[in-house]
């Protein structure tokens, strides 16, 4: 049997068990950096197939090595994230979240279960490939500073050092059976903006006696949009949105201060830093010019995510071979953020999308919503495809896997 046929056959054989694992993780979600039970469960699963997980990296992170023949020849890494979101699940399914107010609404249950499936497949055929696969089960994708950055600090990309890293993420807007790739820039950096605009409150009928922070805030919000329209490179998207403005006065009361929160997203690190400085200066000067003060703070989130073109091109070819050209799609730029970006700034990386949408099964709701769910048929594809991608990446150019 050819290796690709063997991988497909093992994926089919292991899929039902991986669905059970996914359901267990789904029913027992844990928030970012609190993945204690999930991590124990994952480590147990790894031990059950004879691997030796190293636990406690960045507290709840785990790594495990699958060594093929000649393990030092080449090392690659596969990453799955384990954390859930503070959302109350609205799905009425047998494996519904048992943890009130916490839900796997971004599919990280799927990524973790899928990586365990890949572990089973690759461990089963480790005599048939050369090199080492490093499995990374990561905490805290959903919350700053990002579990990826913490695991990198704790040396997850050393001893042994992977030459490249791969991650997959569910995508409800892509039908089950298909996957998506994008070379180069794929996802945005995301920073949180917090402004407090201070003036002097008073009776709304006596504007000459107040320094109106509401009016100052209005000017600042509109002026800051010129960072996007007049300063940003129009060929690289930039997003600035404010979703929270609290001016707690009344029809006839001007408040002392206004609180504003927003998000800034970009695809270029130099521009990102420049924009931070420009926004701060603009907001502070407008407030000052109008007699008030603006306290401007930025909480930096993840950097932009870039898919190494060579690695991603090769991975896409592997996917076309595994699923057929017709089932491999191009992805658009996505202004969401993802902490896999940290790996992509360290070593060649490929982050791709696994289609999980199926209208008939009602699995086309967006991630981070209470109705999000997946078509579990995607798991067989998820585990088989990632295994095949790993095998192809470990193979030397020109070497046959037959
Ligand atoms: Ni996610």
- The model's pLDDT over 174-217, given as tens digits with 9 standing for 90+, comes to 999 999 999 999 999 999 999 999 999 999 999 999 999 999 99
Is the pLDDT assigned to residue 397 strictly greater than 70?
no
Pick from 366, 325, 336: which is nearest to 179 by CA? 325
Give me ligand 1 centre to Cα 378, in Å: 16
Q: Residue 400 has what pLDDT?
A: 58
Report the chain's terminal Cα–Cα distance, integer Å: 8
The percentage of residues in the chain with a pLDDT greater than 70, rounded to a whole number, is 99
Give me ligand 1 centre to Cα 114, in Å: 14
Dist. CA 322–CA 383, nearest whole Å: 12
Q: Residue 396 has what pLDDT?
A: 72
269 alpha-carbon distance from chain centroid: 18
Give me ligand 1 centre to Cα 25, in Å: 15
Q: What is the pLDDT of residues 232-244, one digit of tens each?
A: 999 999 999 999 9
Which spans in 129-268 are helix H? 147-153, 213-226
User: Which domains are assigned to the chain?
Assistant: 3-188+304-394 (3.40.630.10), 191-300 (3.30.70.360)
Tell me the catalytic residues. 302, 376
Give me ligand 1 centre to Cα 141, in Å: 7
The percentage of residues in the chain with a pLDDT greater than 90, rounded to a whole number, is 98
Who contacts 392 (Cβ-Cβ below 8 Å, separation ≥6)? 314, 315, 317, 318, 321, 401
Q: Residue 263 has what pLDDT?
A: 96
Average pLDDT of span 279-305: 98
Asked whether the whole model's pTM tops 0.85, one would answer: yes
Give me ligand 1 centre to Cα 247, in Å: 33
Q: Residue 364 has what pLDDT?
A: 97
Q: What is the pLDDT of residues 101-122, one digit of tens each?
A: 999 999 999 999 999 999 999 9
Q: What are phi and psi of 291, to 5 degrees?
A: 90, 5
């Amino acid at each position: 049997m050819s290796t690709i046929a063997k991988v497909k056959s093992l994926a089919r054989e292991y899929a039902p068990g991986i669905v059970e694992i996914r359901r267990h993780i789904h029913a027992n979600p844990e928030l970012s950096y609190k993945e204690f039970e999930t991590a124990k469960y994952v480590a147990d699963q790894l031990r059950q197939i004879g691997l030796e997980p190293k636990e406690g990296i960045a507290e709840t992170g785990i790594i495990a090595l699958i060594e093929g023949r000649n393990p030092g020849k080449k090392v690659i890494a596969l990453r799955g994230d384990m954390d859930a979101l503070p959302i109350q699940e609205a799905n009425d399914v047998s494996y519904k979240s048992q943890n009130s107010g916490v839900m796997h609404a971004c599919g990280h249950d799927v990524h973790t279960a899928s990586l365990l499936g890949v572990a089973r497949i690759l461990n089963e055929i480790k005599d048939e490939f050369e090199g080492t696969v490093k499995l990374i089960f990561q905490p805290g994708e959903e919350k700053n500073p990002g579990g990826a950055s913490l695991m990198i600090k704790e040396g997850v990309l050393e001893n042994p050092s992977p030459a490249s890293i791969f991650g997959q993420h569910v995508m409800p807007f892509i039908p089950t059976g298909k996957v998506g790739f994008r070379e180069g820039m794929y996802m945005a950096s995301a920073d949180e903006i917090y402004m407090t605009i201070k003036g002097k409150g008073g009776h709304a009928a006596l504007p000459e006696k107040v320094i109106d922070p509401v009016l100052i805030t209005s000017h600042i919000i509109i002026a800051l949009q010129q960072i996007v329209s007049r300063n940003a490179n129009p060929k690289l998207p930039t997003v600035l949105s404010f979703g929270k403005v609290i001016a707690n006065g009344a029809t006839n009361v001007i408040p002392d201060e206004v609180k504003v929160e927003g998000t800034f997203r970009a695809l270029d690190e130099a521009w990102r830093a420049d924009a931070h400085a420009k926004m701060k200066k603009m907001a502070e000067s407008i407030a000052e010019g109008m007699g008030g003060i603006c306290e401007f703070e930025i909480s930096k989130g993840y950097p932009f995510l870039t898919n190494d073109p060579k690695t991603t091109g090769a991975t896409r070819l592997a996917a076309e071979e595994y699923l057929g050209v017709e089932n491999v799609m191009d992805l658009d730029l996505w202004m969401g953020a993802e902490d896999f970006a940290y790996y992509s700034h360290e070593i060649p990386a490929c982050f791709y999308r696994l289609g999980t949408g199926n209208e008939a099964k009602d699995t086309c709701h967006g991630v981070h919503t209470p109705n999000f769910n997946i078509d579990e048929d995607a798991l067989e594809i998820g585990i088989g495809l990632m295994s095949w991608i790993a095998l192809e990446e470990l193979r030397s150019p020109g070497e046959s896997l037959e």
